[in-house]
Amino acid sequence: MNNSGLGQKIYSFLWSAYERYLRTPERSLNKAYDAALKIKKIENEHFNGNKIDSNSTVYSSSVIDYFEADLKKELKIIRMRLTEFRASRYFLSEPNQKAIRKLGIESLDPSIILEKLRFIDGVIAKYNNLDEEIIPQNRVAKPIDVPAKSIVIQQPRQPDILRKKVDNVPKGKTDTTGVLPRSIFNTINRLQAELDPQAEENVVQNFRTAQKRTIISVRFILLLIIVPILTHQLSKAFLVGPIIDHVREPEQAVVFLNEEMEEEALLELQRFEEKIKFENLLTNASPPIENIEIQLREKAEEIAGEFRRESANALKNVFADILSVVAFVFLLLMSKREIAVLKGFFDNIVYGLSDSAKAFIIILFTDIFVGFHSPHGWEVILEGVSRHWGLPANHDFIFLFIATFPVILDTIFKYWIFRYLNRISPSAVATYRNMNE
């Protein structure tokens, strides 16, 4: 009777889940439409029906940031729900359509679907260039007060194709030699920029854009760190852990996952036995052999319980780490815009450093990961990872890894220095060589 009741509950749960799956297109479209309505409401109430403009002078920067946060959230919802809408309509086959009619699920009228999609497209079309306002663009900056040779250094992300096009432009003698010194033209350009009536507005706008890039980059870095850690801890505590504890009965579970655990347990038990004998010799006591065996048995059971928990924890770590990697990859796939902003953020930081700072960072990283003392660090890391997953530390694999991977990293570092850094900042390369010698 209990089995039939449990089977009925499982059947009801699966049937409700299937019904929810059949309603996915309608539900996804409605959520995307609701998000578009929220954006339209903000436009009507605060921007006179126009788009949410980050350069508006009506509101302060804090208010603009508040509106933009809501805008980005709703735009992300719209993109996700429209993707879900398209995918769910693609996978709904003819049997699914029959099931929809059998269940009496009313499908949306095609005219209503088209009307909602037009409304959504009309709302999000205003913000197609939202990423371009934040993501740094590859533009050729006009020289202001910097010598012409240093312009290439300050534009590290300028594409090679653009450079080739600029280089292929036919230059006259005036362009190559110059009638007047180049510094005079730089001074004139600087005066033009300072006398521009929109200079203050441009400075404020550039500051706001840089502030947005910094906020997005720092927040995304924190998400890349926090999301995998939270996924690991929560899945281990509430999903993976209970399942493994239920499937793997503690009393009948295997005590040791590998020989190293067994050797460690035997060594601990042997030390405990020697400790008992040593204490008895100090007190001149001669307890019965039965008492010693009882103490050893209790200690063996205690050690077995500890290693059972350690083995179970290692299994939980494997599945929890897989879920953490899935969450991390999903976050990367859903954050292409943030990745582009983060790349520009790191470029500005790295290439904005002084030559000595660049050389110091390169030497620090190369010495840590590919230097003379790096094999000891790699050995500790690999043994820690093996213990984390309950695997035996294969020393042959560790030695092979240490003999190959740091060499590959060293080659990549040297290639990057030769191919990119030497072209972008040759003075930093010269400083690096002098410091390294």
pLDDT digits (tens, 9 = 90+) for 213-235: 888 899 999 999 999 999 999 99
List the one residue out of 120, 122, 131 whose CA is nearest residue 28: 120
Structure confidence by residue, pLDDT tens digits, 374-406: 888 898 899 899 888 888 888 888 889 988 988
Q: What is the pLDDT of residue 21?
A: 63
Rounded Cα distance between 231 and 182, Å, is 57
Q: What is the pLDDT of residue 173?
A: 38
pLDDT class of 143 with cuts at 50, 70, 90 = very low
List the one residue out of 69, 66, 55, 337 whose CA is nearest residue 207: 55
Q: What is the pLDDT of residue 146?
A: 40
Domain ranges of the chain: 2-128, 226-336, 353-436
| Beta-carbon contacts of residue 359 (< 8 Å; ≥ 6 apart) | 428, 431, 432, 434, 435, 436
Structure confidence by residue, pLDDT tens digits, 58-89: 777 778 878 888 888 888 888 888 887 887 77
Percent of the chain with pLDDT over 70: 74
Q: What is the pLDDT of residue 276?
A: 87
* pLDDT of 22 strictly over 90: no
How many CB atoms neighbour CB 338 within 10 A? 22
410: left (phi over 0), alpha (psi -120 to 50) or beta: alpha
* pLDDT of 417 strictly over 80: yes
* pLDDT of 370 strictly over 80: yes
* pLDDT of 1 strictly over 70: no
What is the separation, in whole angstroms, between the first and last Cα of the chain? 82
Give the mean pLDDT of 366-378. Answer: 84
Contact 230, 345 (CB under 8 A): no
Q: What six digits make up the tokens of 150?
A: 């240093």
Rounded Cα distance between 157 and 154, Å, is 9
**Residue 143 CA neighbour count, 13 Å, CB half:** 16
Structure confidence by residue, pLDDT tens digits, 321-336: 999 999 999 999 988 8
Q: What is the pLDDT of residue 324?
A: 94
pLDDT class of 292 with cuts at 50, 70, 90 = confident
Contact 184, 192 (CB under 8 A): no
Q: What is the pLDDT of residue 72?
A: 84
How many CB atoms neighbour CB 194 within 10 A? 9
Burial category of 166 from C-beta neighbours within 10 Å (exposed 0-12, middle 13-18, buried 19 and up) = exposed
Q: What is the pLDDT of residue 201?
A: 76
pLDDT class of 283 with cuts at 50, 70, 90 = confident
Asked which of 19-23, 42-46, 164-168, 368-372 is least confident by mean pLDDT, the reply is 164-168
Segment of 134-143, 295-304, 416-425 carrying the highest mean pLDDT: 295-304
Average pLDDT of the chain to the nearest whole number? 77
Three-state secondary structure call for residue 253 = coil
Q: At what angle do helices 199-235 and 182-195 cross, to 10 degrees?
A: 90
Contact 314, 388 (CB under 8 A): yes
How many CB atoms neighbour CB 110 within 10 A? 8
* pLDDT of 188 strictly over 80: no
Q: What is the pLDDT of residue 46?
A: 84
* pLDDT of 346 strictly over 60: yes
Q: Residues 133-144, buried b or exposed e (16+ Cβ, 10 A)? A: ebbbeeeeeebe
Phi, psi dihedral angles at 257 (to 5 degrees):
-90, -20
Three-state secondary structure call for residue 319 = helix
DSSP class of residue 23 equals T
Rounded Cα distance between 243 and 352, Å, is 51
* pLDDT of 144 strictly over 80: no
* pLDDT of 351 strictly over 80: no
Asked which of 190-199, 241-250, 260-269, 353-362 is least confident by mean pLDDT, the reply is 190-199
Contact 81, 35 (CB under 8 A): yes
Q: What is the pLDDT of residue 334?
A: 87
pTM for this entry? 0.58
The shares of helix, strand and coil residues in the chain, as percent rounded to the nearest 5, are 80, 0, 20
Rounded Cα distance between 40 and 17, Å, is 33
Rounded Cα distance between 216 and 214, Å, is 6
